[in-house]
Every structure is written in C-alpha cells, then in structure tokens.
Amino acid sequence: MGTEATSVVIKRKSRTSGASCAKRRVKIANTGSDITAAIASRADAVLVIGSANSSNTLALEKVARNVGCPTVQRINGVEELDEAALAGARIVGVTAGASAPEDVVQAVIARLAPRDGVEEVDVTDEEEYFPPPRTLREVMPVLDAVAALATGGSPPAAAALGGSFSADRAVNASDTLAALEG
C-alpha cells in the first residue's frame, strides 16, 4: 500500500541488517531515547512500535511528543498503522520498544514502502568506561602475574606492565558483544 513518505527513520535496540526499500527512504536507528529525539526532531511523523503497557515504549512515545513531532502513533504492529494520519508526511520516524520483534519493525517498513530506501541512524557514542569494582581492580595485577606464571612468563613483569586483566580499557564492550552474537 505505502504512504507518501520519502523517508522513514527507525530506532532499534539492536543492530539491523540495513533493510532497504526501493521506493522510499527509511532511516533505522539503534539505541536509546537520544536517537528517538534526534529522529523526531526532523520527522513529520513518528511511529513507536511496542505494547501500551511497556514502560520503554511509552517513554519513547513521550520523547517523540516532547520534541514536538506533529504526529506520533504508538502501534503494536502493522495492522494498527493509521496511514491516513501519515498523509503528507515526507519523513516518518520509526522507533521500537525493547521487546518489539524485528519482524514487526520490518513489516511496518514494508507497509510504509519508503521511496528513497532505508537509512540507519545512530547517534549513540558508547565510549564510556565502567571500571570494575575497586576490590577486583586491586586483584587484577595478581591475576596477570598468575597468568604469566602459568604460561611460562615473568610474573613480576606481567604485574608491572598490566597484562590482559589489568588492561580492561583496551577491550571494547560493543566489539565483544558483537563477537558473542556470532
């Protein structure tokens, strides 16, 4: 069916494959209310996919309204989409609550049939460091020394240099999670 939208902006909790639609543009975002606010500030309409009893979904809906987006709809799925309310919207934002299934998000994108395809939006900087508790930080040099001893290295040198246990800032959590996903 489709709407008149040329762009759709989508916020998701997880990475998406960057689905593309041939006729219009859809924007996909990855995380948080900051992205929802960024999307809603430039969209003519925002769809929030998720349950009416989900605090996350309701928070995202509130963010979109507070930014001043003229049309905000909360929907459980494509069957609740009010396409008449989207008439004239050139950019439609789509955001999803934490438990909204990816297939529902993709169904909404397909129904919107954005003329200029799909664009993923990500404004989240995940460079924040969350140090381990002090007691664990104090034990890390000992763990490095034990690891060095077990592998035939020099325990004092390992403890002094800060081995893999002490160098926790060098490990990117997003990369680690992505590797675990498969």
Closest to 46 in 3D by CA, of 89, 99, 103:
89
Q: Which phi and psi angles does 25 have, rounded to 5°?
A: -110, 130
Per-residue confidence (pLDDT) for residue 19, from 0 to 100: 35
Element (H, E) at 74: strand 71-75
Question: Where along the chain do its domains lie?
Answer: 7-121, 134-181
Taking the C-alpha atoms of residue 98 and residue 124, their distance in angstroms, rounded to an integer, is: 16
**What is the model's pTM?**
0.58
Per-residue confidence (pLDDT) for residue 136, from 0 to 100: 79
Taking the C-alpha atoms of residue 152 and residue 40, their distance in angstroms, rounded to an integer, is: 57
Angle between helices 55-67 and 32-42 (to 10 degrees): 40
Quote the radius of gyration of the chain (alpha carbons, Å): 22
Write out the chain's pLDDT in tens, 182 residues: 455 555 565 554 443 333 333 333 444 444 467 788 888 888 899 999 999 998 889 999 999 999 999 999 999 999 999 989 988 888 888 888 888 888 998 899 889 888 777 666 765 555 556 677 778 777 877 787 888 888 888 777 766 666 666 666 666 666 666 677 66
DSSP 15: -
Per-residue confidence (pLDDT) for residue 159, from 0 to 100: 64
Domain 7-121 listed as CATH 3.40.1010.20: yes
